[in-house]
Amino acid sequence: MGTAPRKLHDAGQSIWLDYITRDIVEDGTLQRYIDELSLTGLTSNPTIFDKALGSGDSYDGQIAELLGEGKRGEELFFELAITDLRGAADLFRPVYDRTDGVDGFVSLEVSPELAYDGERTAEAASRLHGQADRPNLFIKIPGTPEGLPAITESIAAGIPVNVTLLFDAAQYEAQADAYLKGIERRIERGEDPSVASVASIFVSRWDVAVADEVPADLKDRLGSAAAIRAYVAYRRLLDSDRWQRLENEGARPQRLLFASTGTKDPALPKTKYVLELAAPDTVDTMPEETLLALAEGDDIGGVLPADGGDNEELLRRFEDAGVDLDELASRLQSEGAKKFEDSWNDLLEVISGKESAVGAAG
């Protein structure tokens, strides 16, 4: 077992797992990752649950119980997901307590069908967080323009939020403004301004999108470059007068999270994005195979400088090659929302199939 996970953690970056199944929660696998691989959190999404529910019979017993209670479809799914995430949250609770609520979180996504309905998203976030009944559970809300008011409302209500589906610095800054407005609202009301949140920048999809459009020397370099630009914006925000006023009132930073850090190209090292985005005061959530690949090594290289080094020069090279970065970020966000909605629909079909199979067996 290599020392790279511990070195990354010691450099100031939290390592989270972008994966969950009932088996890894209950069979000791997740606890082992916590103990041996410096794992301090976990994220989930409809695609992950789709795969978990579609394989094996680990969920059949609870499905039978829920069917007996008259629960079906979306309601039944959230009961299953929350059971898994409660279990994971309890395993991470010592981390949450040790870090005084900075780390040790798990994440549950609202229905992707709500990505463009801010009011219903905020209502769902409140309901799901209450149903889960764990302080170290984030509700994932998409950082689409329509989702921004839901971010403000949820933070103002004291609900921990993982803002998802962010692709560039501009989208990061827009959701950060929404987050800060929620904190400011709490301060105005005399409420505790310390509400945990992360902002998730998706990495690998950039490189997939331009794989056939850029010169060979730029291939597989845009994802990290876009994420580094967002990191620079994040560090700039932490130095701003607006943030420092809120911090003086007791607010805590909304940490930047690097998501979609598994490589899509099998020719690339599995840890490519992880090592390129080693940055203090951030989170990296990675697929299981990426985590295990990281654990095979002993070196993480250096950490990102707060100013991004020569990253802007690299991004200009992409623009010179004809890549419209703003347009592509907007397209990736729209496509990402559509992909999650498609996965959601697939998941509901799996749930329906399980309902039929378990019901027939009962």
* Catalytic positions: 140
Backbone φ and ψ of 237, nearest 5°: -65, -40
Give the Cα separation of 19 and 318 in Å (integer). 32
* C-alpha torsion 327→234→46→88, nearest 10: 170
From residue 52, how far is each of 253, 347, 348 by CA, in Å? 33, 10, 13
Give the Cα separation of 139 and 87 in Å (integer). 16
Q: 325-330 long-range contacts, Cβ below 8 Å, gap at least 24?
A: 325/168, 325/226, 326/168, 326/170, 328/206, 328/209, 328/210, 329/167, 329/168, 329/170, 329/171, 329/226
Give the Cα separation of 330 and 340 in Å (integer). 16
Q: Are 158 and 193 in contact (CB under 8 A)?
A: no
Query: Which DSSP symbol is given to 160?
Result: -
